[in-house]
Copies of this chain bind each other. A is one copy, B any other.
Amino acid sequence: MRISELSRRSGAPVSTLKYFLREGLLREGERLSGNQTSYDDSHVQRVRLVRALLDTGGLSIAAAKRVLATLDDENSSLAHTFEAAQHALGVGRDGSSRAAASEAARERIARVAARNSWHTSPENPGFEISARVLDDLAAIGYEPSDAYLAAYAAAADTIAHADLGALRDRESADLIAELMIVGTVLGDALIAGLRRLAQESATEELFPVAEPRADARPSGARQPQRRDPK
């Protein structure tokens, strides 16, 4: 197909496709006579993947290139591609240059992982991401209980198995890799979104919903926030 057809089928403007080609994110098409170039279905799929990495994943061009290089390296397993994607999407994705998590926090996360019989490598970015949260919570004077962490770990386990179930439904290695990468990013957003819905529902049980501002009480007193006796 011509580049105009590739644009139509992938939903990316021709200027974007040319940018991807220039940056080496998209393989050149087959050169035909004159200045004609032909693209195929693999290009359509790659454009989708690149857009997902850049737009959905928020990856830099350089990071997207690294992930794609792993995917295109035939000596590399899918597990390795996944690892590369996790690293690219993981720590410091927001460009912040934060101090590393404390050793104590990392050890506590390691204990959570052990309690769930998770087999993980020490380089898994999940340790750093989770441990930083413990440090940040400690900074506001909150130390989560074991029950709190156990609930989060159970939820993570549920999600991870759903993620794997989804991968099983994909037919080719490239499609699996695509869903691994895209799913890693989108899954974070999906659980974040559903968590907000579940939180609102659960919060109503504990804290009464505010009256509209127009009905605000003249007393100026904060509404009762007593513990739910349930």
A216 beta carbon closer than 8 Å to chain B = yes
Could you say which of B162, B182, B225 contacts A173, with CB atoms under 8 Å apart? B225
| A7 at interface, CB cutoff 8 A | no
Is A80 part of the binding interface, using a Cβ–Cβ cutoff of 8 Å?
yes
> Could you list 17 A-B pairs, sorted by A, with CB under 8 Å?
A11-B139, A52-B140, A79-B208, A82-B203, A120-B201, A126-B197, A129-B196, A130-B193, A132-B189, A145-B169, A153-B194, A153-B198, A155-B156, A155-B159, A156-B194, A156-B198, A160-B199
What residues of B have a CB within 8 angstroms of the CB of A3 in the complex? none
- B159 in contact with A221 (CB, 8 Å): no
Contact of A48 (CB < 8 Å), options: B140, B173, B179, B208: B140
Contacts of A213 in B (CB 8 A): 75
Q: Which of A127-184 contact B (CB under 8 A)?
A: 127-133, 136-137, 139-142, 144-145, 147-148, 151-170, 173, 175-176, 178-179, 182-184
Q: Is the interface of A mostly helix, strand, loop or mixed?
A: helix
Q: Does A103 contact B (CB under 8 A)?
A: no
> In the complex the two chains form, what is the Cα distance from A118 to B203 in whole Å?
11
The verdict on A127 contacting B78 (CB below 8 Å), with A144-B166, A164-B206, A191-B156 known, is no
Cβ-neighbour of A128 out of B133, B176, B193, B227 (below 8 A) = B193
Chain A interface size range: 35 or more
Partner of A190, one of B80, B133, B186: B133
State whether B186 touches A137 (Cβ < 8 A).
yes
Closest chain B residue to A113 by CB distance?
Answer: B197
A121 within 8 Å of B (CB atoms): yes
Q: Residue on B with the closest CB to A201? A: B118
Chain B residue contacts of A49, Cβ below 8 A: 140
B125 in contact with A77 (CB, 8 Å)? no
Which residue from B117, B130, B168, B178 sits with its C-beta under 8 Å from A206?
Answer: B168
